[in-house]
Chains A and B, each alone.
Chain A
Amino acid sequence: MNMTKNQRLVYIALLASQAVIISLLERAIPFPFAIAPGAKLGLANIITLMALYTLSTRDAGKVVTIRIILSTLLGGTIASFMYSASGAILSFLGMWAVKKLGPSRISLIGVSTTGAILHNVGQLVVASWIAQTWTVLLYLPVLSFVGILSGIAIGIIANYLLIHVEKLNYYKDLRDLD
């Protein structure tokens, strides 16, 4: 069953808007762990994973780009844009590369954990560049640990979504369009 171009556009817009809403909601949740200030759940990563698994790479990239730009316009600053952009680009590239291993070797859990950790790496690199001291990177192990935990949770959630939302199987055909 084939998709028209318009259906694909609507699907991209749908994912992007969901991602924007989720990242706005996430901003409103105070993170409970005082031991790791700056850590986040990364709920918006669910949508990135869905996009990666149901769309072509180029379209998944569009979803991520739209999400970053829109969530910055809806209540972000230049600094927060730089963090989220660097984190999102790095984690997207990492997830894309890791996913190349194929579904028989790697599951959604591994892909989302990679995304979570690389997101932290990207943010801390920008933070240490702004602060002009690379010792900020010493904070990385703490964030990676939180990243693994949230990565596993997000991976399970995304897996659940991918299996149980039947409609999405229909959208898997979109990948063959390009």
Chain B
Amino acid sequence: MKSYYQMVKRWDVIITLTLVLFSFLPFAIFSYQQASKTGENLQQVAVISVDNQEVRRVMLTGNKGEEVFDITQHESDTNTIEVIDDRIRIKAATCNDQVCVLTGFISKPGQTIVCLPHKLVIEIQTINGETDTDDLIISS
């Protein structure tokens, strides 16, 4: 074990730390962007899109209760999506890697669930509550 400690050189540590800091860069940019969005009626919406086309929006802020629905394409590619209160997740999917199911619940702005085999993306966006709420499909 001791010989492994001796194996580590100075530049190993420097480069690893640099890369770790670098991996937080998208996070930093995102929080900066979010901070500039000010307003009182900020609400969270889960936007579900397939192949870059928006198919459904679910209002999350203030949502109560439980809802389950399927998004199906090409007859057999199905993702079962579950919304409980202000959280959303993919409950089941017919894809082969199941990464989307393992991601679990998301509820914070900027979080995503991606099902790459089905090109399905669920993204939580922040919107200003005053603007065109009529277009939203608000689940009750």
B-binding residues in A (CB < 8 A): 34, 37-38, 77, 79, 98, 101, 104-110, 113-114, 117-118, 120-121, 127, 130-141, 143-145, 148, 151, 156, 159
Contacts and interface: CB of A to CB of B under 8 A. Distances in A.
Contact of B26 (A38, A131, A137): A137
A118 B23 CA distance: 10
A145 B119 CA distance: 26
Contact of A105 (B9, B16, B100, B102): B9
A148 B110 CA distance: 25
A153 B98 CA distance: 26
B54 to A, nearest CB: 11
A37 B100 CA distance: 8
A138 B102 contact: no
B12 A110 contact: yes
Nearest to B110: A135
Contacts, number: 99
Nearest to A133: B123
B23 A135 contact: no
B69 interface: no
B52 A132 contact: yes
Contacts of B103: 37
Nearest to B14: A110
A109 B102 contact: no
B20 interface: yes
B59 interface: no
Interface residues on chain B, size class: 20 to 34
Given A37-B103, A114-B15, A148-B16, A109 B23 contact: no
Given A106-B11, A117-B19, A138 B111 contact: yes
Given A37-B100, A130-B119, A131-B112, 9 more contacts: A79-B117, A107-B7, A113-B16, A135-B110, A135-B123, A140-B23, A141-B24, A144-B23, A159-B7
Decide if the interface of chain B is mainly helix, strand, loop or mixed. helix
Contacts of B12: 106-107, 109-110, 113
21 contacts: A37-B99, A38-B97, A77-B117, A105-B11, A106-B9, A107-B7, A109-B12, A110-B11, A113-B16, A114-B16, A121-B23, A130-B116, A132-B52, A135-B30, A137-B26, A138-B110, A140-B24, A140-B27, A141-B24, A144-B19, A148-B20
Contact of B114 (A98, A113, A136): A136
Given A79-B117, A130-B119, A113 B30 contact: no
B116 A140 contact: no
B41 to A, nearest CB: 22
The interface centre, meaning the residue of A140, A151, A156 with most chain B CB atoms within 10 A of its CB, is A140
A105 B27 CA distance: 31
Interface string B106-131: 00001110101101010100000000
Nearest to A139: B112
A160 B118 CA distance: 41
